[in-house]
Amino acid sequence: MSFLLALTAASVAVYIIIYYTLCRGSRCTSQARLQGKTAIVTGSNTGIGKATALDLAKRGARVILACRSRERAEAAVRDIRRESGNNQVLFMPLDLSSLQSVRDFVETFLKTEPRLDFLINNAGVMGGGRTKEGFGMEFGVNHLGHFLLTVLLLERLKQSAPSRVVTVSSVLYDKGHIDFKLLEATKDLAEGERNAKKDFQVYAHSKLCNVLFTRELANRLEGTNVSCFCLHPGLVQTEMGRYLGLFRRLLLLLCAKLFFLDPEGGAQTTLHCALQEGLEPLSGRYFSGCAVAQVSAKGRDDAVAKKLWEVSERLTGV
C-alpha cells in the first residue's frame, strides 16, 4: 500500500511539474483598451475563438462573431455580452467551407460596419470531407476561406490602419508540405482514403499554408500600416476534432484534459499578436508562447508562398 501511495504521489508531482512548465502557457500582458475599435473573430462560438472574442469585448471593442452555426453563435453572443458587460458583440453568419458565404459575409460587413481594426482568422477543422466548391475540407476552411476573407477585407483594413490580421496556425506546420500538382488534380492536399495519420498530415499541410500566406501577405502589405502575424496557440482543449471518429475523439479528450491549455490559455498568443505594441516590424512572422519564434526553412520559402497566393487567387476567383 505504501508503495502505491508513493507511486501515486510521484505521478501527481510529475504531472504538476509537466503542467506548470510545459502546458500552462504564457500570458498576454497588453493593457490596451479598444473602445471605438472593431474586430472580426472567425470560429468564435467556442474554444479559442470565443475566449479571444470575450477578451476583446472586455476591452471595449465591437466584436463580430463570424460563425457557421447561428444557434451556437447567438448563444456565445449572449455569454460574451453577459461576462463582458459589452453589448457591442454581434453575430454575422460565415461558413468558411463556402466561398459564396465568405463573399456574402464581406458584403454585409462592408455595408454595415465602417471600420475594421482586427481580423482574427481563428476557425479551423480537422477531418475529411469536401467544401461546397469541392475542395478538401482542411484546405478549404483553414486556408482558402480565410484567404478570400482577408483579401476581400484588405481595403477596409487599410482604411482603418493601423490594423492587424492574425491567423491561427500550428506548430504542426513543420510536418506539412504543399503538392501543387496534387492540389490542381484533386482540389485537396492529399489523396486516397482518410485515417488518423492522414487527417493529421493534411491538417499540417493546411497549417503550413497559414504560415506561408502570412509571409506573402506581409510582403504585399508593406508600407500600408496593416501588419499580419501567424501563431501556434499551444495544445488547447477545443472542439476542432469533433468530426473525428468516436475512438479518436475520446483519446484526444483524455489527452486534452490532462495536458492541454484551456481556451483562455490558448487565446493568449492570439491576443498578444493582436494587441501588443511595437510588433509592426515583425509583420509576417510566426509567434508561439506570446513571443516571436523561429520558423523552419519550409515556412520561409518566398517562392512557395508567392505561388500559393497566386494559386489561391485563381481558385477563389479574386
Catalytic residues: 203
Contact criterion met (CB below 8 Å) for 143 and 216? no
Query: Which residues on neighbouring strands pair with residue 90, listed in sequence order?
Result: 64
Q: What is the dihedral of CA 27, 32, 35, 38, to 10 degrees?
A: -60
Query: Which residues on neighbouring strands pair with residue 118, listed in sequence order?
Result: 39, 164
Q: What is the dihedral of CA 271, 277, 278, 282, to 10 degrees?
A: 10
Contact criterion met (CB below 8 Å) for 270 and 30? no
Amino acid at site 264: E
Contact criterion met (CB below 8 Å) for 233 and 267? yes
Q: Which residue has the cell 477563389?
A: 316
Rounded distance, CA 266 to CA 291, Å? Answer: 14
User: β-pairing, 226-232 with 163-168?
Assistant: parallel
| H helix or E strand, kind and range, residue 127 | none
Q: Write out the three cell numbers for 4.
A: 502505491
Under 8 Å CB-to-CB from 229, ≥6 apart: which residues? 164, 165, 166, 167, 214, 273, 279, 282, 283, 284, 285, 286, 287
* DSSP summary character for residue 25: -
Rounded distance, CA 14 to CA 218, Å? Answer: 42
Angle at the Cα of 226 from the Cα atoms of 224 and 229, rounded to 5 degrees: 135
241: left (phi over 0), alpha (psi -120 to 50) or beta: alpha
